[in-house]
Amino acid sequence: MSTEPATTAEDRPIARRGAAASDKARSANAGAGAVDGSRDPRPILPLWAALIVSALGGFVYDLGFPGASVWPLAFVGIAMALVPLIGRSLLSSFHVGLAFGLAFYLSHVSWTALYLGPIPWLALSILESLFVAGGAVLITLAYRWVPQASRSRWVQLIALPALVAGLWIVRETVTGTFPYGGFPWGRAALSQSESPFAPVVSWIGSSGLGFVMVAITAAVIEWVRVRGWRDLRTAIPVAVLVVVAVALPAFPTTPAGELRVASVQGNGPAGYFDQREQGDVLRSQLEATEPVLDEDVDVLLWPEGGSDIDPTRSPSVARIFDGLSEELDAPVILNTVTVEGDEGDERFYNTSLLWEAGEGAVDRFAKRNPVPFGEYIPDRWFYDAIVPELTGLIQRGYSPGTEPPVFDLGDTVTGLAICFDVIYDGLIWEGARDGAELYMLQTNNADFRGTDENQQQLAIARLRAIETGRSVVNISTVGTSQVIDPAGRTIDALPAYEAGAMVTDVELRTGLTPSVVLGWAVPLLLVLGSLVGLVWAGVVAQRNARRRTGSGAGREGALEA
């Protein structure tokens, strides 16, 4: 398809008026306008259609994630986000990106409104959508500058899709780190936990898989735009990328025996607004644990918030955990709220404890990434002035922990993550590097009963298993609780919203996958490489424009002479 621009209402230069203007001035103005836009791609869609397609694309993109879980639709949604950006002005591309972001996030995180109402849901969705809109502007610049920088068909088929994919990851990286530690929920890779593309994460992580997904989609778009069916050789780049991504097996880690894990889902009143008395959650967990007390196990695992009384401050509750550990002849991994500091200067922590009979808490790990506006209020003075009725619900704020995310169980080291900790790459990589042979992920999904949130989080846990080459025991207060093997397959599970317990022989693995070894190098390379590539394309495009301006002026001078 030709990349010469059509004059549209959106991009047409302002008409010059005045009968007194000389013919020479009108000619110069027209010539300059032709040079500026001569290699801009045409908008494929008018603005009104672009907004509709982009908004529909946001909904389609969400259908690729857990809930509907139709993973191919994630690719369709990405395409519906990209196509409307081609040839747009920067302002309209911002609006088109905003439409996609709002449609996606309002659907994807609708569970945030379940108990707290529409304000947190709308605030989060709008904030994330603004980042999506900003990313759309960068992608629009790529679609504008790369064709101006080079007329090569192969640049359009290879370099342009790679740049677009990298800029998509730039936006994902920003939303995953800013503000307040970011919200890396809804990344493209998280839609692929049960797709043939999932093993890619063991090599290049979630950022790498997201890059591959967008690159494939953008490459198909460009192949269609150049009418690639006229020369099937043009399909080779995208075909090779698809084949490699699908055929590539997960990186092999080394089997290192088994660990028999008893994990308990108490289904107690663990929600923020659940009616309960102190100790009700603990009692629910104890009742659900009773069926496994006769089992020969290596460790007992409880979920986040499994004990609503801190055994380090309650001798009677400490005796309960001493009894459990003694009866099972195994340590207990529990989670509770711990407090440090003097009265009036207390610091609260969402803490997992490794408990052994007669010794008490022999190790601890406090949640590294407390949830902003859920577990603490950042800049409280500001938000108290805006929405005091909501910030007032969070009476105490949790502090971030600093301990290594592993427990040494004797012959085995387990990696740890508490609830939303699982969405942060660095913590998971740190656990594997610290010697984790499996992961025990504790979570409390009681505030999101009946929503897609627990399935979305479970998909992240599944990808973590594949990414690290480790088994994952994902235990929740209410569900969904599963044991996942290093290939991402479910080997044990409990029904959601029912009390129950699993006793599972969990495979242990050693060795580090390339994803863990490379760590931040992959997203850093993608982000910096894409930004440098975009700047380079812009510089070359402007240089080419100046050359064309000079040659055009020279021809015009020759004609006048």
Identify the pLDDT of residue 15: 37
Q: How far apart are CA 412 and CA 448, in angstroms?
A: 33
pLDDT of 30 > 90? The answer is: no
Average pLDDT estimate for 74-98: 97
Number of Cβ atoms within 10 Å of the Cβ of 277: 9
Q: What is the pLDDT of residue 63?
A: 98
Mean pLDDT rounded to a whole number for the chain = 90
Summarised one tens digit per residue, pLDDT across range 142-179 is 999 999 999 999 999 999 999 999 999 999 999 999 99
Region 392-421: mean pLDDT is 93
| 252-256, 274-278, 451-455: segment of lowest average pLDDT | 274-278
Angle at 214 between CA 212 and CA 219, to 5 degrees: 95
511 Ramachandran zone, left/alpha/beta (phi>0; psi -120 to 50): left
In this prediction, residues 496-523 reach a mean pLDDT of 97
pLDDT digits (tens, 9 = 90+) for 313-357: 999 999 999 999 999 999 999 999 999 988 778 899 999 999 999
pLDDT (mean) for 389-412: 90
H/E element, 95: helix 90-108
Give helix then strand counts, H and E, for the chain: 18, 12
Question: Is the pTM for the entire model greater than 0.85?
Answer: yes
Q: What are phi and psi of 297, to 5 degrees?
A: -125, 165
Residue 441 C-alpha from the chain's centroid = 17
- Say which DSSP state 398 is in: B
**DSSP conformation class of 421:** G
pLDDT of 27 > 80? The answer is no
Token pair 């109402």 is found at 117
Looking at residue 554, its pLDDT comes to 58
Average pLDDT score over residue span 538-550? 88
Residues 145, 541: contact at Cβ < 8 Å? yes
Phi-psi region of 414 (alpha: psi -120 to 50; beta: other; left: phi over 0): beta
Position 393 confidence tier, pLDDT thresholds 50, 70, 90? confident
Instruction: Please write the tens of the pLDDT for every residue from 437-487.
Output: 999 999 999 989 889 999 999 999 999 999 999 999 999 999 899 999 999
Identify the pLDDT of residue 547.
Answer: 85
Separation between Cα atoms, residue 401 and residue 352, nearest integer Å? 11
What pLDDT score was predicted for residue 555?
A: 61
Whose tokens are 């790498």? That residue is 208
Please tell me the predicted confidence (pLDDT) of residue 35.
Answer: 33
Q: What is the pLDDT, as a whole number, of residue 558?
A: 54
Q: Do 155 and 541 form a contact (C-beta atoms < 8 A)?
A: no
Mean pLDDT of 81-96: 97
Q: Which strands sit side by side in the sheet containing 254-265, from one edge to the other? A: 360-366, 347-356, 332-340, 299-301, 254-265, 500-510
Spatial neighbors of 22 by CB under 8 A, at least 6 apart, are none
Residue 483 neighbours by CB under 8 Å, 6+ apart? 261, 263, 471, 472, 473, 474, 490, 491, 492, 493, 502, 504, 506
In CATH terms, is domain 254-512 a member of 3.60.110.10?
yes
Count Cα atoms within 13 angstroms, Cβ side, for 482. Answer: 19
Q: What pLDDT was estimated at residue 8?
A: 43
Lowest mean pLDDT: which of 18-22, 233-237, 272-276, 512-516? 18-22
